[in-house]
Structure 1
Amino acid sequence: MALINTEIKPFTATAFHNGSFVEVSDQDLRGKWAVVFFYPADFTFVCPTELGDLADNYAEFQRLGVEIYSVSTDTHFTHKAWHETSDTIGKITYPMIGDPTGEVTRNFDVLREGQGLADRGTFVIDPDGVIQAMEITAEGVGRNAAELLRKVKAAQYVREHPNEVCPAKWEEGEDTLTPSLDLVGKI
């Protein structure tokens, strides 16, 4: 799984978005920052807490110019039904991609072959369609939108300041590092 710094693969899928079914492709992820957020299945336990957390932080992602795309191997019809029956999922306004064929999930190497479910995979994609950060967690380990926001901000900062890097626990506005021979062995 060596997807960091690789370009996303072509795909086309149908998403449930703001009350409608819309087509989404890899081309929609280009020209802006994107987060592709895979989860195992609709109508489950940890998944709605994660998707709700993203919904609660969606305005901040949007302020940063980032679009969120959640993806499971459920259909777009299932996403619509879940959206209409769950208060937590009902607050989602980002696209919910249905991937019943597993094309998108395979492209990001998070399909559990034989199960037809996605692992909990998170991918931060730059405007050129290149994966800048990724995280895969075990079934029972939920993710945190605030930490994802921090990673997006760091990735954006490094892109805008190519001679600087963000140290551990870096937060927006804090000092960065400029790699050089002078720093070797002094941190």
Structure 2
Amino acid sequence: MSDVQLALGGASFDGLVQVKELAGQGMITLRGDLTRKDIVKAVNDVFGVTLPDSRETAFDGENGALWMSPDEAMLLCPYDKAQQKADALSAKLQGAHALVVNVSDARAVFQLQGMMLREVIAKLAPVDMATDAFTPGMVRRTRMAQVAAAFWMDDANTARIVCFRSVAAYMFGLLCTSADDASAVNHFTR
């Protein structure tokens, strides 16, 4: 795999939160029956994580798994290991009814960092961002304005958002507008 080329060259913005395009993230889509023991074991063998329950994440160091739907998971790893891990997972699932695709170059990833990230996300996504409704370890696959996206919180002040690379500039603009200091609603406490 060639060196990663960021959609926006590592764009960043500081406002209510810091919005930053992250360097390449290895992403492998897995489609199949996520409750099958052979699929669960293969993911654990290759990525070192257990497939998460509905709307949850699972991380072990630099590898992770996001629940995307009842028959889809997004597996995360370092960018330079994505094709190797996709090939290894495909080999372990040989003969199983499953699809494994390296989608790393088709996605853009943004990080939001700061105490106001719940407010920034709440302006764009139809998700209850109250602290007791959405916590670190949860993931949502949704729309942010008119863009299909998924997001999760790494901790109370850090979230990551994944969208298609083709709409990265639009997503960055949305996030910057929502994070503009003049747009504060102050719904969530700082």
Q: TM-score under structure 2 normalisation?
A: 0.26
Q: TM-score under structure 1 normalisation?
A: 0.26
Q: Which has the larger helix fraction?
A: 1
Q: Which has the larger strand fraction?
A: 2
